[in-house]
Structure 1
Amino acid sequence: MKKFSLITGAVLAVSLLASPAQAASDLPNTHRFYEEMTYLQTKGVISGFEDGTMRPDQTVSRAEAAIMIGKLKGLDGTQRGTKFADVPANLKASGYIASAAQAGYISGYLDGSFKPNAPITRGDMAIILSYVFPLAMQGLEDFKDVSPNMRAYDAIGQVVSGSIAAGYQDNTFKPTNATTRAQFAAFLSRGLEPKFQNDTHMKGSYLMDKTKTYTFQWNDGDIEKISYVKPKGELAEDWNFLWKGDFASGDSYYLVDIESSEFHATGEPFSEFFIDLVYPVKSGTKFNEDSPYGPAAQITKTGVTVKTKYKTFTNAVEVTVPADKDFEFDGVKYYMVPGFGNVKTLDLTGNVLGELISVK
């Protein structure tokens, strides 16, 4: 990284002839996942039933999930025979089930069945979407009801870290709960569109808004723009989205901006990350004391007013990182703000090293 930067029972739509944009009688715009379902309708990924309903709160079946995934990935949905004993060619979803299984997005059971009418649980959902989207980040959150011996353990960690799903306030994930059609639509939408990923951020999150571009000015006069993008090249095989920093001078890099209930951290893909804030936020808290990746830090003030060229924030958290000879580090103070992350960095004498100048 160039600078200190951010150190910081039925199948879906028995009749597939319904218009994707057709308004559903049971999907009001007040529904929690109205935007997500409408978004997938316009993309032709989900459609309604013959009676004009969308049935958003109906449990989604394995066959329905296969159809949605098949449409999303552009798979062949032509009805045909499959390798599953309980998926005959005349089943409406047979083509998508066959194609999705061949692509490795879904699988059957040891007895040779697929169980097309069985419900998709949140654990099942995590497994499927970990195959559909490139999600390299492993789990950062320890849920009370998710253990390492569970089949969905790794996948749950990936979809949560990838901002596709979130846990509950009681620190559970509820992996055995059935998933509704609206919920499954929301998960798919988050894998496709960053604005829906913002909905997975916890209350008071210090993560940046994934729909915005953040511009910083550094003490050498260079300008850096940070945007949430689909990575290119080899990284695209493992990462669905990443933050990308582009300097006016021509340099660029990819950044991981991550958060759990215990900390906020930044780092580079497939590399170490540096914890730049710990939760709960409390003045005097020390962290990174035993980190091999960077010097120890301490929350020195909360509720700080900090002025940047973008705006004045009144709810910043000041973090001080003392000089450390082992890391050949001169020391800094930086300011974290909910919804923005690091907005300003100073050296220990008060000189500005970098600050936020624009958010668009």
Structure 2
Amino acid sequence: MQHHARSVLAVIVIFALLFTIIPALAAPTGTDIAGHWAEAQIRELMERGVVSGLPDGTFRPELTVTRAEFVTMVNKSLGLSPLADTGRFSDVNSGDWFAGQVEAAAEAGYVTGNPDGTFSPYRPITREQAAAMLIRAFGFARLVSETEQNAALASFADAGQVSSWAKADMATAVHLGLISGYTNTTLAPKPAALTTSNWQEWEAARTTEQREAVLEKLGSSGLITRGQTAAILVRALSKKPVIQEATLFDQAGTYGPEDGIETISGDVIVTADGVVLQNLIITGDLTIAESVGDGTVVLDNVIVKGETYVKGGGTDSVIFRSCTLEGTITVEKEDGKIRIVVEGSTSVPKVVLQSGAILITQEDGSVEEVILPEELDEDTEVVLSGSFGKVEIASQGASVSIGAGSSIDTLVLGENATGTKVDLDKEANVGTLTVNAPAEITGQGRIGTAEINNPDVDMKAEPEKVVYGEDAKKEEPKKGSGGGGGGGTTIPVSAISVEPTELILSAGEPGVTTGSIIATVSPSNATNKTV
């Protein structure tokens, strides 16, 4: 977001208060917005009837916005109508032009006023106040996890200056891209020199010069301008339809009919621990949000037509029981500590692991394909337990454990999967293993066919059949580790042929006392050819 120095910041807020948000008295143009960084956003809000120009035809995008003006703009953006003043704030009178707007904002629940029962309508709104009102008014609260909130503020040197009551909302606004830093390293949540006496001095000022003097003390940072407000509101409005189309489950409990099936049109977002969804058809995407934390979410007999995103949930499991997921499950838990169980008759076409995870199939649950993509962090730990069709590892340095009793039809280590470690439990089974990169395969589980396309493979198990690609034949594979050894592939003998198959020696026959038998070992590059 751009910011410009303002030598005259107050010219004049009273003037703006009287005419800024009153379309009947204000001209619909803004002759001074051409070329301004927020011109497009200002014009969009003008077309929506949210803001308008001043009587002199200007808009004054760098003019500071008051609290009364801000709630009026938010209300108009959301289509909230003014309400009759109830006298809930001692400094808002029924005859004030903004009284109905302030009442509507309070009734909507996104403003509560000051502890002393005032609203301070004439005070310039601070950036943290604007963020808090915006997030609460548009319903964006609780969509961002605490971890993401902390990350959103981590790069700002003055993050500690955000008031405790506004921290979550400010962080959410930054994370969602509604508000950017005042600079690359500062948030400027409120004026650095802000004091109660400053505000009292502001409200007591009656001339332009007096208010300019107060703003000079406060400094230009920490407040919000008309142009900035327009940009923020347009961003919020662009996200609002997405939120409106989603069904939000933000309280623990069981949702869905006991019998029969119910359809939810659009997307579903689960933001709370302890949510159970049952007997539902979700026509859009399903998101288990970061805010679930390390909690548990259960889906029982749920059909998801769209994609499924798992960003929250802990080691006590996200459970899919007798579900049909027509799209991909994408797992992205920041700390990688998540357990996903696919059970009952659940069928999943594809799971993409963007983080570490424990993935379990049991009973008749099935996963056709599991992918560890290239962008997965090194040293990511993945545990697979159960039955899987194809597992493809494209990432570097991942550690994949295949548990007892597990079965994988096809396990592929891609060309970029350098440093991958696969541990195969002795009771696990892999139909076909294809290795295209240097890797380490430990454990004594069964491998039906091993297709080796890279010579730098350390494999402890003995496949029933080994097939070598051209790349692997170019270099004699290293012998298996042991003694003074070093890594490499240990190639077992898979077959021995003997010629001739029959040899008869006749005792006493002149000149015939010995015979020769030739044993041929397959494959030709077996590590130990001794017979």
TM-score (norm 2): 0.41
Q: 1:79 to 1:58 in 2, by over 3 A?
A: farther
Q: 1:296 to 1:14 in 2, by over 3 A?
A: closer
Give CA-to-partner distance per residue, 1:70-108, whole Å, 9 cap, x none: 212222326645322211122111110111112112221
CA distance in 1, matches of 2:43, 2:68: 21
Counterpart in 1 of 2:74?
Answer: 69
C-alpha displacement at 1:149, in angstroms? Answer: 5.9
CA distance in 1, matches of 2:78, 2:26: 19
Aligned pairs for 1:261-272 (under 5 A) are 267-268=309-310, 271=313
Counterpart in 2 of 1:181?
Answer: 226
C-alpha displacement at 1:63, in angstroms? Answer: 0.8
Counterpart in 1 of 2:464?
Answer: none
Counterpart in 2 of 1:158?
Answer: 172
Give CA-to-partner distance per residue, 1:212-247, whole Å, 9 cap, x none: xxxxxxxxxxxxxxxx7754323699xxx9899xxx
CA distance in 2, matches of 1:71, 1:296: 41
CA distance in 2, matches of 1:77, 1:189: 21
Among residues 144, 148, 153, which one is paired with 2:157 in the alignment? 144
Give CA-to-partner distance per residue, 1:252-286, whole Å, 9 cap, x none: 5245999xxxxxxx95365579669xxxxxxxxxx
CA distance in 2, matches of 1:232, 1:27: 36
Among residues 97, 101, 112, which one is paired with 1:96 in the alignment? 101
Aligned pairs for 1:1-360 (under 5 A) are 9-10=13-14, 11=17, 13=20, 15-18=22-25, 22-28=28-34, 30-77=35-82, 80=85, 82-135=87-140, 136-138=143-145, 139=149, 140-141=151-152, 142=154, 143-147=156-160, 150-168=164-182, 170-176=184-190, 177-194=222-239, 230-234=244-248, 252-254=284-286, 267-268=309-310, 271=313, 291-293=336-338, 319=376, 326-328=383-385, 330=391, 332-333=393-394, 348-349=413-414
> Aligned partner of 1:180: which letter?
T
Q: 1:149 to 1:77 in 2, by over 3 A?
A: closer
CA distance in 2, matches of 1:158, 1:320: 25
> Aligned partner of 1:40: which letter?
L
Give CA-to-partner distance per residue, 1:22-47, whole Å, 9 cap, x none: 3211111x211111111111111112
Give CA-to-partner distance per residue, 1:274-311, whole Å, 9 cap, x none: 669xxxxxxxxxxx7x631498989xxxxxxxxxxxxx
Q: 1:85 to 1:116 in 2, by over 3 A?
A: same
CA distance in 1, matches of 2:92, 2:144: 34
Q: 1:15 to 1:103 in 2, by over 3 A?
A: closer
Aligned residues: 256
Higher RCO, 1 vs 2 (CA within 8 Å, ≥6 residues apart): 1
Q: 1:323 to 1:127 in 2, by over 3 A?
A: closer
CA distance in 2, matches of 1:297, 1:80: 52
Give CA-to-partner distance per residue, 1:117-150, whole Å, 9 cap, x none: 1011111011101211122213132232123762
CA distance in 1, matches of 2:23, 2:50: 11
Q: Are the aligned partners of 1:79 and 1:92 in contact in 2 as well (CA < 8 Å)?
A: no
CA distance in 2, matches of 1:104, 1:229: 18
CA distance in 1, matches of 2:76, 2:112: 17
CA distance in 1, matches of 2:289, 2:249: 16
Q: Are the aligned partners of 2:83 and 2:104 in contact in 1 as well (CA < 8 Å)?
A: no
Q: Are the aligned partners of 1:59 and 1:181 in contact in 2 as well (CA < 8 Å)?
A: yes
TM-score (norm 1): 0.58
C-alpha displacement at 1:163, in angstroms? Answer: 2.1
Measured on the aligned residues, the alpha-carbon RMSD in Å equals 4.2
C-alpha displacement at 1:116, in angstroms? Answer: 0.8
> Aligned partner of 1:349: which letter?
G
CA distance in 2, matches of 1:327, 1:167: 42
CA distance in 2, matches of 1:106, 1:274: 37
- Secondary structure of the structure 1 residue equivalent to 2:164: coil
CA distance in 1, matches of 2:380, 2:132: 44
Q: Are the aligned partners of 1:15 and 1:50 in contact in 2 as well (CA < 8 Å)?
A: no
> Aligned partner of 1:146: which letter?
A
- Secondary structure of the structure 2 residue equivalent to 1:234: strand
Q: 1:88 to 1:251 in 2, by over 3 A?
A: closer
> Aligned partner of 2:91: which letter?
D
Q: Are the aligned partners of 1:87 and 1:94 in contact in 2 as well (CA < 8 Å)?
A: yes
**Stretch moving more, 63-72 or 116-125:** 63-72
Q: Are the aligned partners of 2:331 and 2:355 in contact in 1 as well (CA < 8 Å)?
A: no
Q: 1:18 to 1:331 in 2, by over 3 A?
A: farther
CA distance in 2, matches of 1:319, 1:58: 47
C-alpha displacement at 1:113, in angstroms? Answer: 1.4
CA distance in 1, matches of 2:83, 2:283: 47
**Stretch moving more, 87-96 or 142-151:** 142-151
CA distance in 2, matches of 1:14, 1:57: 16
Q: Are the aligned partners of 2:38 and 2:227 in contact in 1 as well (CA < 8 Å)?
A: yes
Q: 1:334 to 1:64 in 2, by over 3 A?
A: farther
> Aligned partner of 1:74: which letter?
G
